[in-house]
Amino acid sequence: MNEKKKLLVGIGVALITALLLSWIISLSYSGKKSKKINSILGTTITNEYNLDVSERKVAKEYSPLDLSKVKKLMGKNEKEKSKEENKVVDIKNEKGRIIGKKEYKDKNVVVITSFDLNDGSVSSVETTKEKNGKYEGEATVEYANGTKNFYTYKKGVKQGKAEVHYSNGDREIYKYVNGVPSGEVTYYYTNGDKEVYEYINGIEKNRKYIYKDGRVENID
């Protein structure tokens, strides 16, 4: 056999071998005649895969978000919140008579309106905040005659510096200790005079009138 014929035979054998291997591999992947292939190749080929996965669950069909329901729910929550914030509670005395009302506003603000026991008119309006059912923080009281009172609540009790601004321009400065006016009080008149006294157990004592020119007059 000459060299040319040997070359052609070699190429033919290579092509046949390649086709045979390709056929064997395709049968291995398709799972057909695996036993025959295994015997031909002299090894074990498997097409079984055990991923140790429990029974597969089919995902629920996608459902788009219903914005109308969301808006309705949000609107309901806002209404309930608004209702809670604008709640009005009657304030009654020991005889059950309504002597005022407390209205809840936004951001924990409460407005306490007190009525005159004689004619039922508004005698004062107090504005403060409420925390855990107790008044907390700065408070302002406006009286029917124009006078304003400023003080601070701590856990429902008046504490610290307090001030009164009268409608005629006079001012009074004092302080609370555990809800009771205590210590020195200074009353400033618009003409420059002032009056100084002390609160002892809630009672005014040691009153002095100090004139603008410095003269002092003991009142008691």
Mean of pLDDT over the chain: 81
* pLDDT band of 44, cuts 50, 70, 90: very low
User: 75 in a domain, yes or no?
Assistant: no
User: 34 in a domain, yes or no?
Assistant: yes
* Angle subtended at Cα 161 by Cα 158 and Cα 163, rounded to the nearest 5 degrees: 100
The tens digit of pLDDT for each residue in 102-149 reads 999 988 999 999 999 889 899 999 999 999 999 999 999 999 999 999
User: 98 in a domain, yes or no?
Assistant: no
Q: So what's the pLDDT on residue 1?
A: 53
Pairing status of strand 148-154 against strand 157-158:
antiparallel
Single out the residue of 215, 173, 175 nearest to residue 193, CA to CA: 215
User: 176 in a domain, yes or no?
Assistant: yes
Q: So what's the pLDDT on residue 45?
A: 45
Residue 193 belongs to what domain range? Answer: 159-220
Q: What domain count does the chain have?
A: 2
Q: So what's the pLDDT on residue 37?
A: 45
User: 22 in a domain, yes or no?
Assistant: yes
Q: Residue 108 in 3-state DSSP?
A: helix
User: 164 in a domain, yes or no?
Assistant: yes
**Per-residue pLDDT for 27 more than 70?**
no
Q: What are phi and psi of 80, to 5 degrees?
A: -65, -40
**Per-residue pLDDT for 4 more than 70?**
no
- 11 CB-near residues (< 8 Å, 6+ apart): none
User: 70 in a domain, yes or no?
Assistant: no
The tens digit of pLDDT for each residue in 149-182 reads 999 999 999 999 999 999 999 999 999 999 999 9
- The DSSP letter of residue 211 is -
User: 78 in a domain, yes or no?
Assistant: no
